[in-house]
Chains A and B, each alone.
Chain A
Amino acid sequence: DAGVIQSPRHEVTEMGQEVTLRCKPISGHNSLFWYRQTMMRGLELLIYFNNNVPIDDSGMPEDRFSAKMPNASFSTLKIQPSEPRDSAVYFCASTIWGSRGRLNTEAFFGQGTRLTVV
């Protein structure tokens, strides 16, 4: 398996523009996470899907952020309009909820999208 695939790897955009980040989880995984990583705040959970259904979006910063998972093999994170403070590395991770017992839920991360909003 190719692992979790994210695109694009790098994105530079102007303030006010719409940005869409994409993620393909590992085949067979039923849980997907979007995280944002910055030096100041570390790795923050934005939203969590289980079986394509959003379970917890309490980490989404504000209404400018939205995420979808139309099927088991694809998810998007959209920022509209983007702002300079959104600059960060955005990671998608997937896992099988319940594998080897729920205590051992290893999250597999994609390579991330480095977003720069100027």
Chain B
Amino acid sequence: QKEVEQNSGPLSVPEGAIASLNCTYSDRGSQSFFWYRQYSGKSPELIMFIYSNGDKEDGRFTAQLNKASQYVSLLIRDSQPSDSATYLCAVISSGGSYIPTFGRGTSLIVHP
């Protein structure tokens, strides 16, 4: 069973702070890693993807991947109340099926 684990939270941070969201995965052969944001009552939408070790930055968002330790993280700088949502980590594993497996998500609350 290929597992993707996330702390359910909620993670509460003050406006302007850095929010750090973490995800671990069990399949060492995993290839691609995605962060989706899901607002309450809405569908998931892609924020970032990463497939190489290291950091990938896009605006206020930075994805970090460490394949040796099997974790991927998402940093949100200058957090805003509008960032309050559930963040889902998704992993495409080895085996050729290319089906994204999702974690249960971490709830983020950014308070003014």
Q: Which residues of the other chain, A, contact B34 by a CB distance below 8 angstroms?
A: 106
Asked if A105 is at the interface of the complex by the 8 Å CB criterion, the answer is yes
B104 near A42 with CB under 8 A, answer yes
Nearest A residue (CB) for B103: A42
B97 near A48 with CB under 8 A, answer yes
Q: Which residues of the other chain, B, contact A48 by a CB distance below 8 angstroms?
A: 97, 99
Interface string of A72-99 (1 = CB under 8 A from B): 0000000000000000000100000100
Q: Which residues of the other chain, B, contact A55 by a CB distance below 8 angstroms?
A: 97
Bound Cα distance A41, B105 (Å): 10
Q: Which residues of the other chain, A, contact B98 by a CB distance below 8 angstroms?
A: 97, 102, 105
B51 near A33 with CB under 8 A, answer no
Bound Cα distance A18, B22 (Å): 40
Bound Cα distance A35, B43 (Å): 11
| Docked complex: B1-46 residues within 8 A CB-CB of A | 31-32, 34, 42-46
Known interface pairs A42-B104, A109-B43, A109-B45. Does A104 touch B99 (Cβ–Cβ under 8 Å)? no
How distant is A24 from chain B, measured CB to nearest CB, in Å? 14
With A41-B104, A45-B101 given, name 20 new contacts (CB 8 A). A33-B99, A42-B88, A42-B105, A43-B44, A43-B104, A91-B43, A102-B98, A103-B32, A103-B51, A104-B51, A105-B32, A105-B98, A105-B100, A106-B49, A107-B90, A107-B100, A109-B43, A109-B44, A109-B45, A111-B42
Closest 5 CB pairs of A and B: A42-B104, A109-B43, A43-B102, A103-B32, A103-B51
Q: Which residues of A contact B (CB under 8 A)?
A: 33, 35, 41-43, 45, 48, 55-56, 91, 97, 102-107, 109-112
